[in-house]
Structure formats: C-alpha cells, structure tokens
Amino acid sequence: MNSKREQIFVWSRNIRLFHWINVIAITLLFCIGLIIFNGKLFGVSTEGKILLKTLHVSVGYVFSINLLFRIVIGFIGKAHERWSQMLPFTKGFSQELTEFKEHKKAAYKGHNPAGKLMVFALLSLMLIQMISGLVIAGTDIYYPPFGQYFAESIAIDKQNIDAIKPYSKVNVDETAYQAMRELRKPFITAHVYAFYCFIFLIPLHIIGVIIAERRERTALVSAMITGYKYLPKDEPK
C-alpha cells in the first residue's frame, strides 16, 4: 500500500456482520419472493406456495432481527456504528456535501456524503419491507408477531384458532376474512414497490462503491471484510 497512506480501523465487527447477514438475507428474500410472485408461471402448487412463504417469512425474521440490531447499535454503539456518523441531514452535512461535489476531500474515514444518502435510502426501504412483511406474514400464513391476532379476528369459533390454516376456509368468517384482506392491501403495495426501489438502488449502490473506490482508493470493498481502510496521512480523520 502507498507509504503516504495509513491503515485505519473503521468498520466494527457489528457493522460488518450486519452488512453481510443483510446481503445474504436480502438475496434470499428476493429470490424466494420472485418465485412466489410468479408462482403460476412456475407451476407452484398450493402446498409449494405455503412452503415457499414459510421459508420467505423465516428468512424475513433473520432480516428483521438483524435490522433491529443495527438500529439499536446506531444509538448505543461507538464511532461509525452511530447514526450521527452514518446518516445524512446531521449537523454540517450540507457543507460536507458541497465539499464532496467540489472534490475538496481525497478520502473519507466513514461514508462519503453520497454514501450517507444511500444508507438512508436503503435503511428506509428495509424498514418498510420489515413492517409490511410482518403484517403480510400475519394475514397470509398467520405467523408471528401478528398472526394470532389476525387468526382470532377471522375465526368463527374463537376457541378453535388452531383450525385456521393458510388457504383453508375452515372456521373462517368470510366477511371478517375479506375485511382482513382489505386491511393488508396497502402493506402489499408498500412491500412490492419497496422491492422495485431496491431493484433500482442496489445496482446504484454497487456502482457508487466502485466509483468511490476509484476516486478515494481506500480499499473500500475489503474494508467491509477486514474493518480497515487506507487513508491519506495528511487528511483529517
């Protein structure tokens, strides 16, 4: 590495674990979700669809726990774990963005201003996906945390909740069931459109990382594995 640069520890193990668990979970959710969405095209049976949705929700729990973990350490963590270091719209961000546009800084210890905006956008979409996904899981296959509530809301016999199963009309009040389906519509819309936004932003994120690495040359990609970036010695840290 260039002698004019020094190795600086930036990304903690918490950040790196969150990042790679998130990458794996989102990839799996996208793949399974696309198969479910195109179930008729792939000839998926009702039993197969229930299995896929169960798998989708199970991975969704991992995604949700990982995201909640990241939210918490954003408030109680150290250095670049904290939201004040990771997100835009904090004090001094406008000036930082102006300097970034004018190429006044050679490298950044954490995210550059464009990276902070991308983090904010991706985290916002993740929250939408998590909340809408948990509601859909509760109304579709009656999984926690909302499944019990929705199952009770549509049950004819409230003492026989266990009889309510996905794609079954046993012990289901049809009027209550249709009301539940209406309730879930905006959550499905949010889930689908957030997915479309992900399809746009993820390639943009990857392109941004490539551009930032070519511009800053800080070992940006490997830093998310090792935790270390290589920064100019004369740059403020």
pLDDT digits (tens, 9 = 90+) for 126-154: 999 999 999 999 999 999 999 999 999 99
Question: Per residue in 149-202, pLDDT tens?
Answer: 999 999 999 999 999 999 999 999 999 999 999 999 999 999 999 999 999 999
Instruction: Please say whether the beta carbons of 135 and 146 come within 8 A.
Output: yes
**CATH (domain of 61):** 1.20.950.20
Residue 1 has pLDDT above 50, yes or no: no
Residue 223 domain flag: yes
More confident residue, 69 or 233: 69
The stretch 83-91 carries a mean pLDDT of: 90
Q: With the C-alpha atoms ordered 65, 69, 70, 71, is the resulting torsion angle positive or negative?
A: positive
Structurally, how many domains does the chain consist of?
Answer: 1
Find out whether 8 and 231 touch, Cβ atoms under 8 Å: yes
**pTM of the predicted structure, to 2 decimals:** 0.92
Asked if residue 143 belongs to a domain, the reply is yes
Looking at the predicted structure, is the pLDDT value of residue 91 above 90? no
Residues 31-36 have a mean pLDDT of: 95
In a domain, 50, yes or no: yes
Q: Describe the crossing of helices 46-76 and 113-140 by its angle, rounded to 10 degrees.
A: 140
237 within domain boundaries: no
pLDDT surpassing 70 at residue 208: yes
Instruction: Retrieve residue 225's tokens.
Output: 């594995």
Q: Give pLDDT, residue 49.
A: 95
Residue 171 lies in a domain: yes
| Dist CA 230 CA 6 (whole Å) | 5
> By residue range, what is the domain housing residue 179?
5-232
Domain membership of residue 186 (yes or no) is yes
Q: What is the pLDDT of residue 202?
A: 96
pLDDT of residue 89: 86
Task: Give the amino acid at 186.
Answer: P
User: What residue spans of the chain are helical by DSSP H?
Assistant: 13-37, 39-42, 46-76, 83-86, 93-101, 113-140, 147-154, 174-216, 220-226
Best CA proximity match to 223, nearest among 65, 5, 4, 71: 5
Mean pLDDT over residues 112-135, rounded? 96
Structure confidence at residue 107 (pLDDT): 87
pLDDT score at 235: 57
Q: Which two tokens stand for residue 155?
A: 């049950």
